[in-house]
């Protein structure tokens, strides 16, 4: 293969890995534990984003800083945080389609925050209720996103975060098992982001997957487990 093409392929692979690492981990963890956490518009059959430990809640804290008690009770563990239910918010410009921001020399990815139309970030809004703005002098009573979801072009407030079991997803006709893994319908791209341990983890779950060209290595660690709550799939 031409060296230039090989270098370009490796560069594209690295970019895909960076962009989809969290979603890949979340999908593999969901298969292992039976807990699927997704962010989507309620009527969609597919998730706009798969949610994992590093995903951010509207309150500003990560999923791993929340306690998954049931499918409708996921309060924040951070001291003095009043958040009672994990509610996903984009934490990277790529998740709202603003890929161009990273090309700016002055761009700081750690400082980026999803914003409301009032020009204040989600962290400047209350973590509960309608999320009114807490910024002094701002009359904003509801968080209204000034961005669109990169996956469906709809607003943040049209989406919800769902905590579901595999059976719940099966009954709802939503992807589960191997079909839930990132790029399940595009095996060439899937090979780009899955490594040998990922393929081994899938094989240990006795799920069909695209054959791995790499040798086996230890599987990934297991995450949270879901405790059943009252019958409900809808969250705000």
Q: What is the pLDDT of residues 103-117, one digit of tens each?
A: 888 889 889 999 999
Distance CA 89, CA 212 (A): 34
Angle, in degrees to the nearest 10, between helices 3-33 and 196-204: 30
Helix (H, G, I), strand (E, B) or coil at 163: strand
Residue ranges of E strands in 9-79: 35-40, 49-50
Q: How far apart are the first and last CA of the chain?
A: 51
Q: What does each C-alpha distance from 174 to 49, 220, 232 come to in angstroms?
A: 13, 24, 16
The tens digit of pLDDT for each residue in 212-236 reads 333 332 332 333 434 444 444 444 3
Q: Max alpha carbon distance in the chain (Å)?
A: 61
**To the nearest whole number, what is the mean pLDDT of the chain?**
79
Residue 56 β-bridge partners: 62
37: left (phi > 0), else alpha (psi -120 to 50), else beta? beta
List, in sequence order, every residue forming a beta bridge with 155; answer none if it has no partner.
148
Structure tokens at 73: 């009770």
Cα radius of gyration (the chain):
19
What is the chain's pLDDT, residue by residue, as a tens digit (236 residues)?
453 343 344 444 455 556 677 788 898 889 889 999 999 999 999 999 999 999 999 999 999 999 999 989 999 999 999 999 999 999 999 899 888 888 888 889 889 999 999 999 999 999 999 999 999 999 999 999 999 999 999 999 999 999 999 999 999 999 998 888 876 566 666 566 565 566 555 555 554 444 433 333 233 233 343 444 444 444 43
* CB neighbourhood size of 17 (10 A): 14
What does residue 44 show for φ and ψ, rounded to 5 degrees?
-75, 150
């Amino acid at each position: 293969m031409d060296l230039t093409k090989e270098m370009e392929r490796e560069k594209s692979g690295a970019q895909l890995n960076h962009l989809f690492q969290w979603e890949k981990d979340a999908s593999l963890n969901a298969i292992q534990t039976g807990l699927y956490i997704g962010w989507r518009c309620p009527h969609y059959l597919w998730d706009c984003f798969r949610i994992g430990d590093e995903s951010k809640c509207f309150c500003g804290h990560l999923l791993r800083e929340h306690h998954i008690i049931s499918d409708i009770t996921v309060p924040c563990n951070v001291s003095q945080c009043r958040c009672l239910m994990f509610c996903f918010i984009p934490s990277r410009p790529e998740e709202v389609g603003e890929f161009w921001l990273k090309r700016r020399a002055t761009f700081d990815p750690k400082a980026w925050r999803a914003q409301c139309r009032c020009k204040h970030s989600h962290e400047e809004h209350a973590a509960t209720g309608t999320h009114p703005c807490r910024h002094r002098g701002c009359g904003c009573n509801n968080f209204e996103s000034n961005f669109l979801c990169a996956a469906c072009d709809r607003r943040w407030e049209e989406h919800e975060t769902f905590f579901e079991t595999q059976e719940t997803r099966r009954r709802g006709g939503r992807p589960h098992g191997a079909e839930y893994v990132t790029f399940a319908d595009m095996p060439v791209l899937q090979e780009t982001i899955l490594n040998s341990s990922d393929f081994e983890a899938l094989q240990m779950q006795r799920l069909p997957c695209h054959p791995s060209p790499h040798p086996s290595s230890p599987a990934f660690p297991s995450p949270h487990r879901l405790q059943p709550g009252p019958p409900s799939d809808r969250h705000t």
